Amino acid sequence: MGKLDHLWTLQCIDSRERDLRRELETLGIKREIEELEARLAEKHRELLELSRRLQEVQRGIKEGEFAAGENERKQRELEKRLYSGSTSSARELSQMERKMVTLKEEAGDLEEGILALLLEQESLEKEEEGLRAILQELAAELAEKQAVYAREAGELEEELEFLPAEREKLLPGIEEELLLLYQELSASKRGQAVAAVRGDLCLGCRISLPTNIVSLIITNEHLHTCPNCGRILYYLGTK
Ligand SMILES: [Zn+2]
């Protein structure tokens, strides 16, 4: 085993971790779930608004029915007084008759108002029923997608979980100076501190390395960096 072998394994672990995290972030199903959640929230809001309006309408119907009851009671009382013969004053009688006309007009308006509210109630209830069905469908779809996500993400997370332990095991086998350089390069080269070399090609920047450098790195015993990209070179073979 060359001196750089552990470092190369470390690079592979770190790259794998980065890839796994990226994959987790970009799982297509995640975006679908977010979209579904947004639609669900919107439908919930619609339902809430609808329920509020429905309550208002129902309150309106009750109030209307109460007022109609009151109106009926007043009409009956007035009728009793009109036909009981207790009043013979023509002026009073005509006053009562005018009052009766007003009460009947009011009753007609109340009835119309109640009817309109009853119709609105019916249509709101239908709308509410439809919304509830949509919500149920969306919730089922969401649960399904969440299950798929859990499965897909679970596999990635499972692999991610054991990587830190693998990494820890490697560290004692790497010289401190080498590790420091690795960390430095990792930070400046987007996580890719070690570049594999195949034949004479640096896979970090795709340039051909001078023959003398290739001959120096073949054993992976000595630290050499790519003259072009500056990464630590690790020789993988001719092909
Ligand atoms: Zn290079």
CA of 230 relative to ligand 1 center, distance in Å? 6
CA of 198 relative to ligand 1 center, distance in Å? 11
CA of 190 relative to ligand 1 center, distance in Å? 14
CA of 201 relative to ligand 1 center, distance in Å? 8
Query: Exposed, middle or buried, 59 (CB in 10 Å: 0-12/13-18/19+)?
Result: exposed
CA of 24 relative to ligand 1 center, distance in Å? 29
Structure tokens at 149: 């996500």
Residue 229 has pLDDT above 70, yes or no: yes
Ranges in the chain annotated CATH 1.10.287.1490: 5-173
Q: Report the percent of the chain where pLDDT is more than 90.
A: 88
* Per-residue pLDDT at 144: 95
63 contact partners, CB below 8 Å, separation of at least 6: none
CA of 25 relative to ligand 1 center, distance in Å? 29
**Cα(56)–Cα(209) distance, rounded to whole angstroms?**
80
CA of 205 relative to ligand 1 center, distance in Å? 4
CA of 175 relative to ligand 1 center, distance in Å? 22
* Per-residue pLDDT at 87: 78
**Cα(233)–Cα(214) distance, rounded to whole angstroms?**
9
Q: What is the mean pLDDT of residues 5-10?
A: 96
Question: pLDDT tens digits for 16-46?
Answer: 999 999 999 888 888 899 999 999 999 999 9
Let me know: does 194 contact 202? Beta carbons within 8 Å: no
CA of 209 relative to ligand 1 center, distance in Å? 8
Let me know: does 117 contact 25? Beta carbons within 8 Å: no
Instruction: Please state the length of the chain.
Output: 239
pTM beyond 0.75: no
CA of 8 relative to ligand 1 center, distance in Å? 15
The CATH number given to 5-173 is 1.10.287.1490
- Residue ranges of E strands in 5-113: none
Residue type, 237: G
Question: pLDDT tens digits for 185-218?
Answer: 999 999 999 999 999 999 999 999 999 999 999 9
Q: Long-range contacts for 127-131 (Cβ within 8 Å, ≥24 apart)?
A: 127/50, 128/47, 128/50, 128/51, 128/54, 131/43, 131/46, 131/47, 131/50
Surrounding ion ligand 1 within 5 Å at CB are 202, 204-205, 226, 228-229
**Cα(91)–Cα(89) distance, rounded to whole angstroms?**
5
Q: Which of 228, 17, 190 is nearest to 9 (CA)?
A: 17
Residue 239 has pLDDT above 90, yes or no: no
77: how many CB neighbours lie within 10 A of its CB?
Answer: 11
CA of 153 relative to ligand 1 center, distance in Å? 34
**Dihedral pair phi/psi, residue 236, rounded to 5°:** -100, -20
Structure tokens at 237: 């073979």
